[in-house]
Chains A and B, each alone.
Chain A
């Protein structure tokens, strides 16, 4: 049995994507791979996402925490390799993995599904999910649906909500 890192569903060995949540179960992104030259028709602009040139600092032995700068609170993230950040809105079925409503998400312009944090092998990335007010890393806005690598201490803004990314050693 293999366990989906995202939703903990049990999958049959050899499966490449989780049948329950669609998460990829192998560690490479399908979009980072060179395209098949046999495929004359492939001209997909959204697949030209390049992997980061910056050497990532994450070694896989650490945990991630979100430091909500305004309230000073620290949210440790655990047990999964993927977290969607957003806010729960009344009467809406969207359930982000990390609900930022208690931190004035609405007032700060956080979208319901704002961004995605992903822990890949030796790398942590953030992906803006096409939010209304954008995602900023250390002051510059990142393009939607493109992976952006994160390092310890990076300051991100979801709309106007300030969050610092912390990597801490894994004590388990």
Chain B
């Protein structure tokens, strides 16, 4: 890092950081870099710089003087590039609310001699309830063993199995006696019910055992069932995990599991959920998940934000790297940025009629923070301000193709969401009609298999007043998958 690194960057802060934030950042950096830790010599050097930075920033007077010497704040960090596209060039002065979409893209600004990907600290939490018996369990075992063999030096893999209680099959150690570990996985028997909290809690404990800032810490939960009564406890645990920098991903197998719950759980940590309809798919989906984790360049990216006056964030969706709905509250946990796949977030804002003669509508203001483990200063922040000019009238505005394309698929996902809501509200005819419209759109886009499922469900709802569990998930994850680029025609 050059000598010009300013004190804010050094501490991973934005320029408007509060004294409290400065204090916290300083203590955390000082602890990490302290010479007593016995780190590399650069650490000591950086430790002194951090001391100097704190001396200046903790003193309001000195801080103001220092601020005056800084060049204007860049909206880009050295490591992360930000790009924003809007659906319209400007807002129109109207007496009614209006919508605008923003697509934010973060990419890594690394050169060819990129640092190696950080090591993994991973825990597989496996559902071993009776319903997993047979092919599901066989494939899960085979895949877990395969993953054991693929570990790189420095990676840690722990394995937890749960039913209505949990046990650690493989503790979080760098144990290299593969044969022994394999045998333990092979011994796994199915029995009992599904209590996800049991598994998660044990997995969380294993991960914390080897919790390091420099690692990618992640729990992968595999389940095929519904958990009852412990949902709240699971969500609380996910929040704690997020604070510790631990991501959670979920793999739902078959038709029985509760997708609403699993989606909510993983999105609290910036993770994603995946749907596996056939046991033979477990293997490649898990391995793909692994490969993604190995590609992590920056982790735990979050967007802390405040909305502009009269602005409502109605919808936020991650298009890449792993597609998924985001809960619209600050901070938005966005998950990792991979080396080759940019992070893309699509947002829908509703803007109320402005009071007075505003020339500029601020949609959102905040800070994008990301931690890059391979860098000596792990936390980087980028100032984010989304805004649009306001004019009395605007001509015909052509939205960027990328936004249109994403929305054309997102609108299908949302039709599906609404149909589900209709069924819950008892509006069966409406749900059925909506699915038929969805089918028409899907046919237009060449998605025949998915369209057929939508039509079958439309009919099923008319007769039975509910979705089939399988069809409901198939449509949800099928339309969601359309949003990720490179998606091929769905299999019939």
Chain A interface residues (CB < 8 Å from chain B): 1, 7, 12-22, 24, 26, 28, 30-31, 33-36, 38-44, 46-47, 84, 91-95, 113, 116, 127, 129-130, 144-145
Contacts and interface: CB of A to CB of B under 8 A. Distances in A.
Interface in B71-110: 87-88, 91-92, 94, 96-101, 105, 107
15 contacts: A12-B98, A16-B407, A19-B418, A21-B434, A21-B437, A22-B415, A24-B404, A42-B485, A44-B488, A93-B436, A93-B462, A95-B433, A95-B436, A129-B443, A130-B448
A13 B438 contact: no
User: Size band of the B side of the interface?
Assistant: 35 or more
Given A17-B411, A41-B485, A26 B443 contact: no
A22 B92 contact: no
Nearest to B434: A20
B487 A113 contact: no
Contacts of A7: 437
Q: 5 closest A-B pairs (Cβ-Cβ)?
A: A33-B401, A14-B99, A17-B411, A30-B404, A129-B443
B52 interface: no
Interface of B: 87-88, 91-92, 94, 96-101, 105, 107, 340-342, 350, 398-399, 401-405, 407-408, 410-412, 414-415, 418, 432-434, 436-441, 443-446, 448, 455, 458-459, 462, 485-489
Contacts of A22: 411-412, 415, 437-438, 441
B195 to A, nearest CB: 38
Nearest to A33: B401
Contacts of A17: 407-408, 410-411
A145 B446 contact: yes
A34 B446 CA distance: 20
A71 B203 CA distance: 71
Contact of A30 (B94, B408, B459): B408
Contacts of A130: 443, 446, 448
Contacts of B444: 116, 127, 129, 145
A30 B401 contact: yes
A95 B435 CA distance: 11
Contacts of B486: 41-44
B98 A144 contact: no
Contacts of B340: 40
Contacts of B107: 38
B445 A145 contact: yes
B320 to A, nearest CB: 8
Contacts of B489: 46
B401 A113 contact: no
Contacts of B341: 41
Contacts of B415: 21-22
A162 B415 CA distance: 34
Contacts of A19: 411, 414, 418
A147 B342 CA distance: 32
B440 A33 contact: no
A14 B437 contact: no
Nearest to A18: B411
Contacts of A40: 340
Contacts of A47: 405
B488 to A, nearest CB: 8
Given A19-B418, A46-B445, A113-B443, A14 B98 contact: yes
B404 A33 contact: yes
A34 B401 contact: yes
A39 B103 CA distance: 14
Nearest to B429: A93
Nearest to A96: B440
